[in-house]
Chains A and B, each alone.
Chain A
Amino acid sequence: MKRLLALLAALLLAACASPGLRGTGDLGLVIERASGSVLVVDTTARAILGRVEGLGDLSHASAVFSRDGRFAYVFGRDGGLTQVDLLERKIAGRIIQAGNSIGGAISQDGRLVAAQNYQPGGVKVFDAGTLELLADIPAAWDDGKKLSKVVGLADVPGNKFAFALFDAGEIWVADLAEPRQPKLAKFRGAGSQPYDGMVTPDGRYFIAGLFGEDGLALLDLWRPEQGARKILANYGKGQEKLPVFKMPHLRGWTVAGGRAYLPAIGKHEVLVVDTATWQEVGRIPVKGQPVFIMARPDGRQIWVNFAFPDYGQVQVIDTLEQKVVQTLAPGKAVLHMEFTPRGEAVWISARDDNRVVVYDTASFARLAELPAQSPSGIFFTSRAARIGF
């Protein structure tokens, strides 16, 4: 009898010690920008599972996921690239790959992680398993005399990465079929001062927002021989632009129902574009200068947050009605929003209130509030399966 009890106790102990099997499909990360840490969160339980520390300067940090959804690759401003194990909640690998970095992407086949850098300007490509450097692509321009800051890096089909050169006004597509020998296609004269880029959900179009002129640059990746062309070239014609206190971001499924929703730089407007013709079909007035314009996964709603000083609010656009139907005040300094995989809820970070607020996207009810230290980006593992994330 005693022996049986001992055996039972041992079994129980073993069960307690192992974390237990679980998937990662409902996990995610919240970046704590000032403390160099990330929270691992569970979107089903709406709970924080733990904190991972030691990721360096995380201002403007972003993350992509391995395609098994177990690892996050976090790109820090200080050039740090950190691989975080979501299940064990620890750092699995970390390198400092540049002096000043602005984000990254993971390849179609999941084997390559690419980082886009301001300093030294260019893109570096790493083995997703070992973080070994495979390719270094300096963003050289002006006859190789200068390096440009790189923005808008996105994975595109064919194990390629597309990105834009802020200083040079160019779009490049790097083919990494042979990871150690990248082949570059350069599209010069794409537009003045591209500040960010995105790829459409089908992987066909790469779009770069332009700071230096009205309009956006569009490259059809199915027909690259046509080159980059400008769309919405006249959206601000004759109107005074407001000063821009924060560059908008083009990430997010901003394509919904055959329309793309894009920020009008220096304006309190969302531009609506027909993706068949790339002509403007409308403008939706909003509370401030849009930073993130994100479509709920089903495309019925578009959620918009704003730049300083209007960043206490978030607005929701109904895509059928083409107008704002809800204004929410999640807290001070709203920096980012992320939808649960199928969009029944959205998580919003309020940096200066040190919290993340979860809303029901149908009723707009507050479902939960989670404490976080200066939270900025929120990234869920459902990104692992999406082109352009």
Chain B
Amino acid sequence: MGSGKPVRWVVACFFAGAMVAHDDAGAADPAPERAAELVRMVRQDCGSCHGLTLKGGLGPPLLPETLSEKPDESLRQTILHGRPGTPMPPWNAFMNEAEAGWIVRQLKQGFPEETRR
């Protein structure tokens, strides 16, 4: 029986790796409704520190020109886990990893405006 475990682990890791790869490829876009919620959250709640227009405030600007050189993965980690010792808080209670990755890609492209309700 003991030999079954490693195999299962390998399988699990394979799937986990596939998931990460999938997510990095950018195919895992949130559904339109959730995307609209995320846009609102970034504009409004991230905006309280980064500015509604994301040109910066207490936190730095989150514009394509200021983020382009920074690796997606580290930006995603910053959003999910915050930066200890700075006011940047972790957001992993309010979004999953794929959603954080989607936000990073949108920020790098020029973040969408909120659609007015």
Contact = CB atoms under 8 A, between A and B. Distances in A.
Interface of A: 33-34, 57, 59-60, 77-78, 99-100, 102, 118-119, 149, 166, 193, 195, 211-212, 243-247, 308-309, 333, 351-352
Contact of B51 (A57, A193, A247): A57
B65 interface: no
B89 interface: yes
A163 to B, nearest CB: 15
A245 B57 contact: no
A118 B56 contact: yes
B23 to A, nearest CB: 24
Interface string B32-65: 0000000010001101110111011110000000
A100 B55 contact: yes
Interface residues of B, number: 20
The 6 A-B residue pairs with the shortest CB-CB distance in the complex, in nearest-first order: A59-B52, A243-B89, A308-B45, A246-B48, A245-B89, A243-B90
B57 A57 contact: no
Contacts of B57: 59-60, 77, 100, 102, 118
Contacts of B52: 33-34, 57, 59-60, 77
A211 B51 contact: no
Nearest to A79: B55
A59 B53 contact: yes
B87 interface: yes
B73 interface: no
Contacts of A57: 51-53, 55
A100 B51 contact: yes
A367 B54 CA distance: 36
Nearest to B53: A57
A132 B46 CA distance: 34
19 contacts: A33-B52, A34-B114, A57-B52, A57-B53, A59-B48, A59-B51, A59-B52, A60-B48, A60-B57, A77-B51, A77-B52, A77-B53, A212-B85, A243-B89, A245-B45, A246-B45, A246-B48, A246-B49, A351-B44
Mostly, the A contact residues are loop
Contacts of B85: 212
Chain B at the A interface: SS class: loop
A130 B40 CA distance: 38
Contacts of A166: 58
A149 B58 contact: yes
Contacts of A34: 52, 114
Given A243-B82, A245-B45, A246-B48, A195 B89 contact: no
B94 interface: yes
Interface in B55-87: 55-58, 82, 85, 87
B56 A119 contact: yes
Given A59-B57, A211-B87, A308-B45, 8 more contacts: A57-B53, A59-B52, A77-B52, A77-B55, A149-B58, A195-B87, A247-B49, A333-B44
B33 to A, nearest CB: 15
Contacts of A33: 52
Nearest to A373: B116
Nearest to B52: A59
A244 B58 contact: no
Contacts of A352: 40, 44
A351 B87 CA distance: 23
Contacts of B40: 352
A195 B51 contact: no
Nearest to A151: B58
Contacts of A211: 87
A31 B45 CA distance: 17
Contacts of A247: 48-49, 58, 87
Contacts of B45: 245-246, 308
Nearest to B94: A309
B15 to A, nearest CB: 30
A115 B56 CA distance: 17
A295 B47 CA distance: 27
Contacts of A309: 94
